[in-house]
Structure formats: structure tokens, C-alpha cells
Amino acid sequence: MLIDTDKLWERYSRQVLFAPIGRDGQMSLLKSRVAIIGLGALGTVSANCLSRAGVGYLKLVDRDYVEESNLQRQILFDEEDAKRVIPKALAAAEKLKRINSSLQYEVLIEDVNYTNVQNIIGDVDLVLDATDNFETRFLVNEACIKNNVPWIYGACVASSGLTFTIIPGETPCLTCFLGGLPSVGTGETCDTAGVISPVVNVVASVQVAEALKLLTGAKPALNRKALFFDLWENQFFEVEVMQNDNCPVCGKRAFDLLAGKMQQRSTYLCGRDAVQVLPPLKLNLSLEKLRDKLLPLGDVSVNEFLLKFTTGKHELVVFPDGRALIKGTSDEKLARALYARYIGA
């Protein structure tokens, strides 16, 4: 990495001129390590900003691939990425390397669950939440509290957004803020209410501003309140979040999700009309062999990252580790049955 050269200071000059960051802050950013969980709407905006800001190492984690309906708001992707059916984390890294080639990008094409979350967040200074579901957020909350890693919650739906900065041992955690896992079907989702891109950009931008403060040691500048806004209704307000001494996570340090007590083999993916099915154990599938097996049964295509199989109104996308996205259904039982029939029990 280029350090202490005129070129480096020129590149980041507008940010270095900003007094609270300065040269020291820039050096801190260049040495910082951040994990972005989810490279969809929020994640692509955050990754774009953090890469341009010169955050030295970005871990890009996502389980999905690029589709045309992503392009309305997922700013790192283009039509070519959708045509290539390429995993989002990889497409993001390709684009980021063109934006700032001096940084380090690690690509993880994985579902984040109790088996891997502590590894993912264990070697970074900060985690940015850019997921689209509460299961993963509460899991990340447990992992970050347990391993003492700050993380920044962000969520958006329709024209409204919400952010909250969580520092273990200093602030309330997500469970203090929102209670336990909301039951499925409560509240609006991108599925039912859609989302407009300005909301995505504002939520992610607030997360990145908080990230810059944290990574440059400007803790007093952090927003200790939850920030809520609705861009269509012209509402902005902050909510004081109370520390709950009886919080099962940051109070009692009971990490049930990390223990795998609530792990499910299948998960309905909001906004995708799809169910993700995980194999009982990580596999090492040959996608070519699977293609040969499925060829007589429907349309199959393979690239180096995934296999796509269409049968009737369902589409199965299979990754080499045995994970599959079953599109065209919200019925987890049916999805698991399709998985068993076409991929294996």
C-alpha cells in the first residue's frame, strides 16, 4: 500500500482537509478493517463510500447473486453483472477494485449463520449491517457483543429508514433496542412495501459517517440515539434507547443464536419470493455432475459460481457448498421437498 506519498495525500485530500479526520484520521482509515454483511442495497452504498474513503480492508459477505431487479438501488451493479448471474460479493469486489485498487477486498459468498459468524466478525474493527432480515441481525448482535466488536445497524423499507450504532460495553445492544426476534409476518417488508433508493442511500450514508467517526477515534461525535426518518413524509427524529440490565444478550450474555439453538434448515428470503435451503453439512458439490443429472428434467445452466435449474414455475440456484435458493415460493416445506428431490436429501 502507498503510504506517506504525495499521491496518497492528493487522493484523499478533501477528506484530510476535513479537520476532524485530518492526516491522523486518514492513516487510521487506511489501517482499518471492516466487514460488510450483505452486498445488496445498503451494502453496495456503504462499500462504495468506504472504498473511496480509503478503508484499508473490506470483507464483503453475501449469499446472493445479481439480478436485474437489484439495479434500481444496488449502486455497484450494472446490466452486465445481472446477465452474468454473478455473486454479489464478487461483482462488488470487481467494481471496488476499479474504484480503489490500493485496498484489500475479501469476498465471502456465504450465508451468515451461527457456524461462521464469529469467524467473519472476529478479525475486523467494525461490522456494518446491510442485511435484509432480523435473524441475521440478531445473530450479528450476539457475535459482536460476545467478541467486543462495534457494529452499526441499518434498515430501510418503503420511504423510511432506521440506524443505530452499537458499541459493546458502552451502548445498549440491538436486543435492548428492539427486544427479541419479531415473529414472521409482522411489520412491513420490501416485499409488501417496496423501497425507494434515496432511503437506501441515506441509511447507508449515516452508517458510513458513524463508521468514519469510530475508525478515526472520534467517539464523542457518535450518535448515541437511534435515528429514524421518512423521506416521503418529511419526518426525522431520534429515539433515546435505554440499556436493559436484564437484556439476555448484553446483560446476561446468553448467546442462544450463536449456540445454534434456533438454526433452521430453511429460511424465507424477504423481497426475493425465495427460500434458502442449507444442507445439514457443508458440501463440496461438482456443479457439472449435478448439471448432467438435472439435464433431462428441465433447463440447466452452470457458471463457475452456481448452477441454475428451472422446473415448472420454480427455479433452483445451487452453490458448490450445497446451499440452494429456491425461487418462486414462500413455502419452506415445498422448498425443502424440491431440494430433496433435485439436489439430494
Minimum Å gap between C-beta 254 and Zn ion is 11
Residue type (1 letter), 104? Q
Check residue 113 for interaction with Zn ion (CB under 5 A): no
Amino acid at 148: N
Q: Which of 144, 190, 247, 250 is catalytic?
A: 190
Q: Is 141 in the site for Zn ion (CB under 5 A)?
A: no
**Least distance CB 166 / Zn ion (angstroms):** 9
Q: Strands 299-302 and 126-129: what pairing?
A: unpaired
Residue 166 is a binding residue for Zn ion (CB under 5 A): no
Sheet holding 299-302, edge to edge: 266-269, 274-277, 324-327, 314-318, 307-311, 299-302
Report the chain's terminal Cα–Cα distance, integer Å.
48
Using CB under 5 A as the binding rule, whether residue 55 contacts Zn ion is answered as no
Phi, psi values for residue 317, rounded to 5°: -110, 120
When the beta carbons of 244 and 329 are compared against Zn ion, the nearer one is 244
* Residue 173 binds to Zn ion (criterion: CB under 5 A): yes
- DSSP-derived letter for residue 243 is P
Find the radius of gyration of the CA atoms of the chain: 20
Cell digits for 253? 450474555
Q: By beta-carbon distance, which residue lies closest to Zn ion?
A: 247
Helix orientation angle between 41-53 and 197-215, rounded to the nearest 10 degrees: 40
Residue 241 is a binding residue for Zn ion (CB under 5 A)? no
CA distance 75 to 87: 15
Q: How many helices (H) and strands (E) does the chain have?
A: 13, 14
190 belongs to the catalytic site: yes
- Smallest gap from Cβ 177 to Zn ion, in A, equals 8
> Using an 8 Å Cβ cutoff, are 113 and 139 in contact?
yes
Half-sphere exposure of 179 (CA within 13 A, CB side): 3
CA–CA separation, 257 and 138 (whole Å): 8
Cβ proximity to Zn ion, 95 vs 146, nearer residue:
146
Contact region with Zn ion (CB under 5 A), list: 28-36, 168-176, 190-198, 252-260: 168-176
* Cα dihedral 9, 14, 17, 22 sign: negative
Closest approach, Cβ 155 to Zn ion, in A, equals 17
Q: How far apart are CA 308 and CA 300, in angstroms?
A: 6
Residue from 82, 176, 335, 338 that binds Zn ion (CB under 5 A)? 176
Nearer to Zn ion by Cβ, of 131 and 175: the residue is 175
C-alpha cell at 73: 438501488
Give kind and range of the element (H or E) at residue 90.
helix 88-99
Does 294 engage in binding with Zn ion (CB under 5 A)?
no
Q: Would you say 90 or 144 has its CB closer to Zn ion?
A: 144
Q: Does 247 bind Zn ion (CB under 5 A)?
A: yes
Q: Using the rule CB under 5 A, give the single segment among 105-113, 156-164, 169-177, 296-304 that binds Zn ion.
A: 169-177
Q: Is 128 in the site for Zn ion (CB under 5 A)?
A: no
Residues binding Zn ion: number (CB under 5 A): 6
226 binds Zn ion (CB under 5 A): no
Q: Is 175 in the site for Zn ion (CB under 5 A)?
A: yes
* Of 60 and 249, CB closest to Zn ion: 249
Which residue lies nearer to Zn ion by CB, 64 or 142? 142
Residue 250 as a binder of Zn ion (CB under 5 A): the answer is yes
Residues at the interface with Zn ion (CB under 5 A): 173, 175-176, 247, 249-250
Instruction: Report the catalytic residues.
Output: 190
